Amino acid sequence: MRVGGLMQRLLERVVLVLTLLVFSLVTWMDGARSPSVALAFSGAFAALLALRLILPQPRVGPSGARGNCRLAMAVSIPLMAWLLLTSLQAAGAGLDSVDPYQARIAFSRGVGYLAAWVLFMSLLDSTARLWQLAAVIVGVALLQAGFGIVNFYGDDAVFGWAPTHYAFHRVTGTYVNRNFFANLLVMAVGFPLVLLLARDRDPDRSDTDVSLHGLSWLIALPVLPLLLAGLLLSGSRGAMLSFVVATMLLLLLLSVMPRVRLSFWPVVLSIGGAVGLFGAGILRFRFASLDVDSSDRLEQWRSTLEMIAIRPWTGYGAGAYETAFRNRQTGDLGPLTYNHAHNDYLQLLLEQGIAGLILAVIPVAVVLLVALRCAWRCGSQRRKRWILSSGFGVSAMLFHALVDFPFQVPANVWVFIALMAIMASATTIEFAPGSNTHPGHRPSPGR
């Protein structure tokens, strides 16, 4: 019995390590959006989930196992319904797709997304594992940022990887597009940003907690300007705007939440230093051409809306935007090929209609509502920080999707899912004993 328990714990650790390894490789190898690479990673996540399901279920915090399971299932059920819709489009079972091959690719990716969500939720059963997953997200973002900075100034390959450098200020890391690269950095920047902004007022913190917070604060201080430098050098307007919007939303939430003390000086220095050293000229160059670029974009969106009105309920088929748009493209948009709508919400409406949009929105809305409610009611600053740190990246990607297509990049979708899992798990896991960390805890008036 004891030997069996040790083996089970060992296998669980192996699954955790393999999951973090696969996840870290995703952002380095899948930035080119290769269907074969995405299929391999989908299979890897599905295999790890199958192995995880034969192990004992994880411990959860005061919300209990049933509450954690309900949250995971509330997201999984609409995702499975979306997979069913996609499979019907791929098979032509009354919902014909104009490009069945792309529908099959979308289905394989969806299986990988669902597997990753369930896998992350089953593994994130402690604050230590939250730290591990967050460290991987920030770590790979730092590697990409460092790669982009080196390439910007040296134009050299790094360990055999040479980014696409075919236009002014086109820094992409290992990604095929600067916007995808910058989107990864924005999703990761929430962790050092919240850590530096929000001062902890938990009265029950131990000396160890204080030491760990001080150490993490010192680590976050150089991390934030490095990520911002990579973001600025990328020249991605959508990612920069999403960072600004997410930061404003974060400041609004922190200002209205009880028992939160803000410390602005390290953040102001980081942002000001990054802009002053790296970004002033790039910002002027990129936003000077905004009017010219936006006219074509608006015309494309108008044409996309006209196509949506023709098949509003189930669309033209998952992944079929390029094929459907090419068949109806007018001369007003010129000879260019439009393979994406530069607005993920419009593209989802065109490809899978209102049904697909609803099934995609429900999971995100459920996690956001549960997490924000918990952050408002709980008495633990640590729980708030975890929710807001991951929520920063989630909100930034949701805004970026209004002007670009980050959800068409499997690598960044997996990072988005990891952030969603951190948000969800932070509402249920058990924090340090003795701290007022119960999601429903309300501080007494004297504290």
Distance (Å, whole) CA 142 – CA 230: 9
Place of tokens 């699954």: 15
Place of tokens 């065109």: 350
Residue 199: which pLDDT band, with cuts at 50, 70 and 90?
low
pLDDT of residue 133: 94
State how far Cα 310 lies from the chain centre: 32
Among the listed residues 189, 193, 293, the one whose alpha carbon sits nearest the alpha carbon of residue 232? 189
CA atoms within 13 A on the CB side of 91: 8
State how far Cα 287 lies from the chain centre: 25
pLDDT of residue 259: 66
Among the listed residues 338, 361, 360, 347, the one whose alpha carbon sits nearest the alpha carbon of residue 316? 347
Rounded to the nearest 10 degrees, the angle between the axes of helix 344-377 and helix 381-400 is 170
The answer to whether residue 93 scores a pLDDT higher than 70 is no
Residue 268: which pLDDT band, with cuts at 50, 70 and 90?
low
pLDDT of residue 444: 37
In angstroms and rounded to an integer, the radius of gyration of the C-alpha atoms of the chain is 22
pLDDT of residue 108: 93
Average pLDDT over all residues of the chain: 79
CA atoms within 13 A on the CB side of 154: 12
The answer to whether residue 211 scores a pLDDT higher than 50 is no
Tell me the three state secondary structure of residue 284: helix
Q: Find the mean pLDDT for residues 70-81.
A: 90
The two three-digit tokens of residue 145, written as one number: 């940022």
pLDDT of residue 30: 65
52 vs 110 pLDDT, higher one: 110
- What does the pLDDT look like over 230-246, one tens digit per residue? 888 888 889 999 999 99
Q: Find the mean pLDDT for residues 334-357.
A: 86
pLDDT of residue 19: 94
pLDDT of residue 169: 47
Tell me the three state secondary structure of residue 57: coil
Q: Find the mean pLDDT for residues 121-127.
A: 86
pLDDT of residue 406: 93
pLDDT of residue 423: 94
Residue 326: which pLDDT band, with cuts at 50, 70 and 90?
confident
pLDDT of residue 418: 97
Distance (Å, whole) CA 55 – CA 43: 19
The answer to whether residue 153 scores a pLDDT higher than 80 is no
Residue 47: which pLDDT band, with cuts at 50, 70 and 90?
very high
383 vs 268 pLDDT, higher one: 383
Distance (Å, whole) CA 252 – CA 391: 13
Q: What is the dihedral of CA 31, 35, 36, 41, to 10 degrees?
A: 60
pTM greater than 0.85: yes
The two three-digit tokens of residue 34, written as one number: 């290769």
Place of tokens 């995703």: 26
The answer to whether residue 149 scores a pLDDT higher than 50 is yes
